[in-house]
Amino acid sequence: MKSDLEIARSASPEPIDQIAWKLGISANELIGYGPSKAKITWEAVRERMSKPQGALILVTSVNPTPFGEGKTVTTIGLTQALNRIGKRATCVIREPSMGPVFGIKGGAAGGGHSQVLPMEDINLHFTGDLHAVTAAHNLLSAMVDNHLKHGNEQQLDPTRIIWPRVVDHNDRALRNIAIGLGGPANGLVREDRFDITAASEVMAILVLASDYKDLRSRLGNIVVGQRVNGTPVKAEDIGAAGAMSLLLREAFLPNLVQTLEGDPAFIHGGPFANIAHGNSSIIADKIALGAADFVVTEAGFGSDMGAEKFMHIKAATSQKSPDCVVMNVTVRSMKLHGGAFGERGGIRPSKEDLEKENVEAVQIGASSNLDRHIRNMKNFGLPVVVSINRFGSDTEAELEVLSQSAQASGADAVCLTEVHGKGGDGGKDLAQRVVAACQDFIADGRPFTPLFMPETPIVDKALKIATRIYQADGINISQRAHRQLKQFESWGYGNLAVCMAKSQYSFSHDPALLGAPSGFEVPIREFRLCAGAGFVVAILGEMMTMPGLPKVPAAMNMDMDDDGNLTGVFG
């Protein structure tokens, strides 16, 4: 089979105005970025958001492994399959960050015959949205330090500033830094840090805001630190929010591209699910739901990460919950969680070991890890369709035991999916099962049941997530985190949503605990306030909000030839 890049380059994309027309969006409602990508004008977005809304399908997954489970491939392939069976469908996915692109993961535009185009543009800069978020965030950072230098009218305590800086790359050397060195002309000397742009509160605001007014208001409500008297200082107080909104004016508009099979696809926003809430934008969902009968979106990493945050952060904000959950799983991921490669995952196995039949390990992994993911999603009152992303090395015995385990765990339907190799045709069974699940759910009028109400206190929310989703015995809040939380509560932020920042590889905070661990406490090291976004981030264990590069970054194998063609990128 050709590489992802070869497949993408052999495609013949349709003009973007023809793609838009499939959703009833006219050419004069587009802001073009070349022939193959465009933003949708605000007038068009606003009009579609008021139209009857279609069914929303959330694609999630088991805990990820180093092998890749193909969640984005399934999301795009399902969209293509829905269109192949005669449904009007589109997908909404997140924009890739250059951190993973040049780090370990590589591209994030799907793969095989289930990709979005133009793949190279999407993975590199795209329409500049992440750069706009970076610029808006760092403008506020610069204005905070400028405020300190020129009189500090707000009496901001330099030792109590909580607003960091960001960059859209993995760079562990920036996790803890000193700024203002070189004398008084360079500002006040103080400690600071960089996060990756995907973890920025500005990114969270971009994807959670409902309109320009809400965007502007949320930016103004960002808390950058506290005064010497202990009261909070906001972006509005130092006059930064208006200029920040200007930098985000066009980035706020959803991006329209297409799948390999010429189906419309929206890409907007890029928060990670392990250190942010991991879902695409609300306005992209809403314009898609107003223009299509079925909208497929994905939540980052496993269901204990992005999907949980969809239910408690995104759905609570948008007032739109999923009508069906698709649980993506692979035989190889269940082998890992079943101990085939060591109790703690071990080193990455050889190709031969990875592909060697191991029915017992698949059974153990499915009855622990997959079982918990399915039951967690069912507890929200939603139908769950399990999609087994089939690989060529999977044996019939392994597939059969995986399917039986999924059914025993309460899945509403289980099917094999081959969208990587066959595109939409390889996902028709999945599409039909998903349509039936959505229709039954809507007809039954079953309620969506989150674990807690929005007004529940922060500690109680964190405890519920830890004990109900992770199956932990409880939470252990550090003294530092306890002091931070008491401060936030005194400012009136005691009932915000909770965004858990933890390892994506395990239900616990420890990436080495595979399967479905129990008998542990969740350590909350730190709380970070994101008042504009409407949540607090709970940092669990050793989690970092600035990733580092691996020993051999993907960037080392990337280059450009004499004609400007990219080489060695994205598969």
Query: What's the rounded mean pLDDT across residues 132-137?
Result: 98
Backbone angles phi, psi at 101, to 5 degrees: -55, -45
Residue 106 pLDDT class (50, 70, 90 cuts): low
Count CB neighbours of 9 within 10 A. 15
What residue ranges of the chain are covered by domains with CATH 3.10.410.10? 458-540
pLDDT of residue 346: 60
User: How far apart (Å, rounded) are the C-alpha atoms in residues 95 and 132?
Assistant: 13
Please report the DSSP string for 278-298 in residue order: -B--HHHHHHHHHH-SEEEEE
Count CB neighbours of 164 within 10 A. 22
Q: Can you state the percent helix, strand and coil of the chain, rounding each to 5?
A: 40, 20, 40
Count CB neighbours of 304 within 10 A. 26
pLDDT of residue 464: 98
Query: What's the rounded mean pLDDT across residues 108-135?
Result: 93
User: How far apart (Å, rounded) are the C-alpha atoms in residues 481 and 484?
Assistant: 5
Give the CATH fold of the 458-540 domain: Formyltetrahydrofolate synthetase; domain 3 (3.10.410)
Eight-class DSSP state of 463: H
- Residue whose pair of structure tokens reads 């497949």 in the numeric block: 7
Residue 507 pLDDT class (50, 70, 90 cuts): very high
Positive or negative, the Cα torsion across 493, 495, 496, 500?
positive
**In whole angstroms, how large is the CA radius of gyration of the chain?**
23
Tell me which CATH homologous superfamily contains domain 129-248. Domain 2, N(10)-formyltetrahydrofolate synthetase (3.30.1510.10)
pLDDT of residue 328: 98
Instruction: For residue 264, give Cα distances in angstroms to 24, 38, 231, 446.
Output: 11, 11, 48, 30
Residue 348 pLDDT class (50, 70, 90 cuts): confident
Query: What's the rounded mean pLDDT across residues 212-235?
Result: 98
Is a pLDDT exceeding 80 seen at residue 301? yes
Cβ(362)–Cβ(334) below 8 Å = yes
Give, in words, the CATH class of 4-127+251-444.
Answer: alpha beta
Backbone angles phi, psi at 267, to 5 degrees: -130, 120
pLDDT digits (tens, 9 = 90+) for 40-98: 999 999 998 888 889 999 999 999 998 888 999 999 999 999 999 999 999 999 999 98
Please report the DSSP string for 59-106 in residue order: EEESS--TT---HHHHHHHHHHHHHHTT--EEEEEPPPPHHHHHSSS-
Is a pLDDT exceeding 60 seen at residue 24? yes
State the Cα angle at 32 between 26 and 36, rounded to 5°: 95
Q: Which of 95, 93, 148, 101 is nearest to 126 (CA)?
A: 95
User: How far apart (Å, rounded) are the C-alpha atoms in residues 505 and 527?
Assistant: 21
pLDDT of residue 434: 98
pLDDT digits (tens, 9 = 90+) for 226-274: 999 999 999 999 999 999 999 999 999 999 999 999 999 999 998 888 9
pLDDT of residue 155: 97
Residue type present at position 414: V
Residue 278 pLDDT class (50, 70, 90 cuts): very high
Percentage of the chain beyond pLDDT 70 is 98
Query: What's the rounded mean pLDDT across residues 207-224?
Result: 98
pLDDT of residue 2: 83
Q: Which of 473, 455, 477, 466 is nearest to 525 (CA)?
A: 477
- The three-state secondary structure class of 566 is strand
User: How far apart (Å, rounded) are the C-alpha atoms in residues 402 and 400?
Assistant: 5
pLDDT of residue 211: 97
What residue ranges of the chain are covered by domains with CATH 3.40.50.300? 4-127+251-444
User: For residue 96, what are its two tokens?
Assistant: 């890739």
Query: What's the rounded mean pLDDT across residues 341-351?
Result: 77
Residue 161 pLDDT class (50, 70, 90 cuts): very high
Query: What's the rounded mean pLDDT across residues 146-165?
Result: 96
* pTM exceeds 0.75, yes or no: yes
Residue type present at position 452: F
Q: Which of 210, 452, 430, 445 is nearest to 325 (CA)?
A: 430
User: For residue 279, what are its two tokens?
Assistant: 């879902």
User: How far apart (Å, rounded) are the C-alpha atoms in residues 430 and 343?
Assistant: 33
